[in-house]
Structure 1
């Protein structure tokens, strides 16, 4: 039944080929149409780099209001821990107050939670759905809470999505101005549909005290400003002095005031510093304290004060879409005093260029050179290369249909398709070239090559497509990468096979017509050994008859001279003298009828026939 159905399909296929294989303009127009389709679909498919996967882990960062105590932050962290444990799909929660994992900063109002999810088989929700539920239940907790995934590649930052820095390029300590610019920039970013989950932890509203020094008064008191500031630094922050070894261990020595002497502002009024004369001078005589607001941490990027901004692409968009939107907003809203810079994985994604196009062209060039050497022709390989756009168009179409991005996984699939689809085209073109060398016309050679290779191409291609089904339907760890790789390869293989088998014979007919009967070089003589072996049937038969006659003549001469014995065992041995020594009795035995018998007919047959005209 299968063979009957396949013969029916083959008959329909050949019926179509007989009507379209000679339509040169239509064939080239189809290839041009698919090429234009590739350009169009590549712009419609979202671009990406490395997709975020469900790694079974969620990070949560908590920031209580500026100036909050560590006890209050720890209380908020405990409430967050209780809430997250009630969410379906959460396995365990670990919290820590006083540390923020995003910038690795420390503060009394910062905290971090590590949320471990259950195995993928034990939960129905993915990581994005769980994050949405956590954001809903933690609203109004008493502090700002941000949830995010780990980075797609460990070591490239601390979170997934995109990350950038807003730079203050003036070089001044304008923390308040940087905060205003950051908030204004983020307000414009939130209006873009490609961006979601935008947040920053830069805040210049922390309550602080600014120390102001009266330089003239300090000089009158004989106090060195540098000495006074160094003493304050040692008393409040501490200073490493030296170390010593005892009991086989190394101990470090730090100098720092006891906690009871640096607990509040009143303690600063009791501090003294030694002047140049060795007298003790109170700090209050030349120093005053003023309330102010500033940043808890000062971070610089490329020597500029900066504010870190992070976020995620909205549903249905990729990081490439988000990066493009951020660039547009920055160009329209930021003044000349500010600029943006990318960091973590976004840095590599933003700076990448046309590497994929360059790699694809190198692959195509390599394939072309190999085929040109095989066919000994620079035109016939174009029949193979011109068939590739059909499959590439199918790859982009499948990505758009599945809602996936043109990322690293999709590009790997396209490079793979260049080889697989090229192999299908080579099967048809190679067989057609052989049939043309056997004397068939170009049309019949193209049809015969397509008919003979139709079944092998379908079998191998659809076996490959069947193997991609688990990748397309995969879930759990690495599902996004598997879906992208499988979908891109499947779409390209299906389109390249079903439409390619109709286009490839026509392409062969187009390019073979251009070079049929023409030599690559002027006055070229085809005398290479490869051309002699794969020549026409007539030349091969002449060569076979000539070699056979010469071989028979050599055997008969050896028999007449007695150099070899007529026994098959001895004749089969190519070293006759050695065989004669190995069997002395046999060599000594006289056989007059065989050794002395004259055979004139044989002698006359030994002369090669001269009926055939000698070859040029």
Structure 2
């Protein structure tokens, strides 16, 4: 929306084509030619003088009537190395043309700036993607584009989004693995994280919100908050299993006994972030973005943790115990084979 550019290639200009080889052959220094053009058509600084306690500059410039047309340029004369005056028409030609008012450069390349904003209902990330697609399909060969300013910072920050979320999940998993001294229990807890993301997607679509930096911060925060509900079930189920109950009974009892605790912690979290979701005033957009993500994710995590965490605990704990039994059986088999070999040697 509002895409515009200050670049204009249709500004009337006068192009002066200097034959450098001919100028050197005639003994005319190039500095003299450029200095003459600057002094007559532009201006050249002479000195300063003081008048009525004020300092004034002295600049030399041709009178307006002597620089009003292209023909006047060709009438200018310059002195060669022999001291003779040579008309500029002998070494240069003048023609009318069109071009930009000023040539900007970016990383030493000629460049034109293009500015715009996202249309209502679309995020800045979507607008950047559309601009990249249009530039890739419309620009001729040899042309490229790069982002600057806020757009560059946004593209740079979005590249680490997946890495940050991945590291957050890994750190939570390692902390839980150290706490439970098991690999299966933390996995059962972290299964709730992608399920809680469903609530985030639904909340953003329902509110027509965009995915910005504050939304991503809310996602990192949601990883720990969503895991908290699953921890209540997994920890209690692990204790019941260690007391001798079957895996299925431990999961069912833990889900039933921790139902009230999960609802209380989830509701307290949702109510705690509710002021962010309805914030107004300066900076309200960032607070609403975080609040929408956390509230939507927490509601989904509450429902899905009660429905699926127990099932994932049963599945992962059963696989873990079967693997442990298989390992013990293999160890015993190797021990028996080792004793048989010793008896055979005797």
Q: Same fold (TM over 0.5)?
A: yes
CA contact (8 A) 2:266 2:298 kept: yes
1:493 pairs with 298, 308, 316, which one?
298
CA distance in 1, matches of 2:74, 2:179: 91
Q: What is the CA distance between 1:384 and its match in structure 2?
A: 0.5
1:206 aligns with 2:206: no
> Could you tell me which residue of structure 1 aligns to residue 68 of structure 2?
265
SS of equivalent to 2:13: strand
> Could you tell me which residue of structure 2 aligns to residue 339 of structure 1?
144
> Could you tell me which residue of structure 1 aligns to residue 313 of structure 2?
508
Residues 84-123 of structure 1 mapped to structure 2, 5 A cutoff: none
CA distance in 1, matches of 2:144, 2:265: 54
Output the TM-score relative to the length of structure 2.
0.78
Change (3 A) 1:216 1:420: closer
CA contact (8 A) 2:47 2:58 kept: no
Q: What is the CA distance between 1:357 and its match in structure 2?
A: 2.2
Q: What is the CA distance between 1:386 and its match in structure 2?
A: 1.4
1:290 aligns with 2:95: yes
1:422 aligns with 2:199: no
Q: What is the CA distance between 1:509 and its match in structure 2?
A: 2.4
Q: What is the CA distance between 1:431 and its match in structure 2?
A: 1.7
Change (3 A) 1:503 1:293: same
> Could you tell me which residue of structure 1 aligns to residue 246 of structure 2?
441
> Could you tell me which residue of structure 1 aligns to residue 201 of structure 2?
396
> Could you tell me which residue of structure 2 aligns to residue 125 of structure 1?
none
Q: What is the CA distance between 1:490 and its match in structure 2?
A: 0.8
Q: What is the CA distance between 1:407 and its match in structure 2?
A: 1.9
SS of equivalent to 1:300: strand
Aligned residues: 322
Residues 207-606 of structure 1 mapped to structure 2, 5 A cutoff: 207-213=12-18, 218=23, 222-233=27-38, 256-258=59-61, 260=63, 264-265=67-68, 272-283=77-88, 286-350=91-155, 355-516=160-321, 518=324, 522=328
Unaligned segments of structure 2, at least 5 residues: 49-54, 331-346
CA contact (8 A) 2:43 2:61 kept: no
Change (3 A) 1:327 1:361: same
SS of equivalent to 1:427: helix
Change (3 A) 1:439 1:285: closer
User: Which runs of 4 or more aligned residues in structure 1 lie more than 6 Å from their structure 2 counterparts after TM superposition?
Assistant: 239-243
CA distance in 1, matches of 2:300, 2:311: 17
CA distance in 2, matches of 1:472, 1:262: 69
Q: What is the CA distance between 1:223 and its match in structure 2?
A: 2.3
Q: Deviations 1:225-258 (Å, cap 9, x if unpaired)?
A: 3321134335655678999xxxxxxx9x988425
CA distance in 1, matches of 2:25, 2:160: 68
Change (3 A) 1:214 1:392: closer
Q: What is the CA distance between 1:521 and its match in structure 2?
A: 6.1
CA distance in 1, matches of 2:307, 2:116: 48
CA contact (8 A) 2:40 2:62 kept: no
Q: What is the CA distance between 1:492 and its match in structure 2?
A: 0.2
Change (3 A) 1:216 1:432: closer
CA contact (8 A) 1:206 1:295 kept: yes
SS of equivalent to 2:117: strand
Q: Deviations 1:522-547 (Å, cap 9, x if unpaired)?
A: 489xxxxxxxxxxxxxxxxxxxxxxx
Higher gyration radius (CA): 1
CA distance in 2, matches of 1:217, 1:445: 98
CA contact (8 A) 1:446 1:509 kept: yes
Change (3 A) 1:496 1:277: same
Q: What is the CA distance between 1:368 and its match in structure 2?
A: 2.0
Q: What is the CA distance between 1:462 and its match in structure 2?
A: 1.4
Q: What is the CA distance between 1:298 and its match in structure 2?
A: 0.6
Specify which structure has the higher proportion of helix.
Answer: 2
- When the two chains are superposed, the root-mean-square deviation of aligned CA atoms in Å is 3.6
CA distance in 2, matches of 1:388, 1:241: 75
Unaligned segments of structure 1, at least 5 residues: 1-195, 244-250, 525-616
CA contact (8 A) 1:238 1:254 kept: no
> Could you tell me which residue of structure 2 aligns to residue 528 of structure 1?
none
